[in-house]
Structure 1
Amino acid sequence: MLKIQEIREIIKLVDQSSIEEFTYEHEGSKIKMKKKDAILSKQAPVVVASAPAPEVAQPQAVAAPAPAAPAAQPAEEAPKAPASDANLHKITSPMVGTFYASSSPESGAYVSVGDKVKKESVVCIVEAMKLFNEIEAEVNGEIVEILAENGQLVEYGQPLFLVKAD
């Protein structure tokens, strides 16, 4: 049976590679991974290619109002984007599961904004299939922002925390 840290390393390797699907079997255990982005990127061109072909006039009419709405959103998000990229480390979820900020409802959160963390510091738990997986900070630094709410479902690779690395 693989340890959680070994599974995390496999996930990182598959994520960084060009492999779209990975299966590992050993002593009755089986791990199967598929990249979600790879599936979406294959479907997106099909939808885009089929939409403009039937009617060219309607997408042009729809295209005029559409840029006005997104233009307002990036202006609001612009201050956050540079801040999140400048010396901030994202702690991401290594699996799909439920995010918990503390070990039990009665106890306090592992970390809060402004707390100092070390590489080995547990920052949260992600529960998947009745297994409670402790997530570590991975870097030394200070918690700048908590991006997930207690009890929220999180996806693989979803940012959970922003840490200002030392």
Structure 2
Amino acid sequence: MNEAEIRKYAELMRELDLTGLEVTENGCVVRLERTPAAPVLPRETVAVPPAPPVPAAAPQEGTTEVTSPMVGVFYAAPAENAEPFVKVGDRVKRGQTLCIVEAMKLMNEIMAELDGEIVEVCVQNGQVVDFGCPLFRIKGQ
């Protein structure tokens, strides 16, 4: 394969907005890769910085916080259209699943550490949570 043919394939990649292409010709394999171009914003578009996160309310006296043990995505239910594992007012037992935190494509069940009543769900379904982020507040029995 000569340089002109490689340039032809590189132009085709740009035209079709491809990030990779592998061509086999006469027993010769050529793999082309490129990083996608950053989108160009129109001049009228103004980037607005995201709003700062709202600080979580202080824990109520007599409650225990269940915090995220990892960075990931909080899921309140086992499936998209399913009922949440727990809601405010539900009684839970130690070891009961409260939610799922997805981290690196792994679904990690977060369990209750004590018997009690859910008094607050601190995050929204689908929200990204950090290590130590409060997920629930439980009033122990």
Alignment of 1:3-152 (within 5 A): 81=58, 84-152=59-127
Alignment partners' CA distance in 1, 2:64 and 2:93: 13
Flag structure 2 segments of 5+ consecutive residues without an equivalent. Answer: 1-55
**Residue equivalent to 2:129:** 154
Which amino acid counterpart does residue 142 of structure 1 have in structure 2?
E
User: Hey, which of these two has a bigger chunk of helix by percent?
Assistant: 1
Structural RMSD (CA): 1.3
Alignment partners' CA distance in 2, 1:122 and 1:145: 16
Alignment partners' CA distance in 2, 1:131 and 1:118: 24
1:43-76 Cα distance to aligned partner (Å, 9 max, x none): xxxxxxxxxxxxxxxxxxxxxxxxxxxxxxxxxx
TM-score scaled to structure 2, two decimals? Answer: 0.59
For the pair shown, which has the larger CA radius of gyration, 1 or 2?
2
Alignment partners' CA distance in 1, 2:82 and 2:118: 19
The CA deviation at 1:85 is 4.1
Higher relative contact order (CA 8 A, sep 6+): 2
The CA deviation at 1:106 is 1.8
How many residues were matched structurally? 86
Q: Alignment identity in percent?
A: 50
User: Hey, which of these two has a bigger chunk of strand by percent?
Assistant: 2
TM-score scaled to structure 1, two decimals? Answer: 0.50
Runs of 4+ in 1 over 6 A off after TM superposition: none
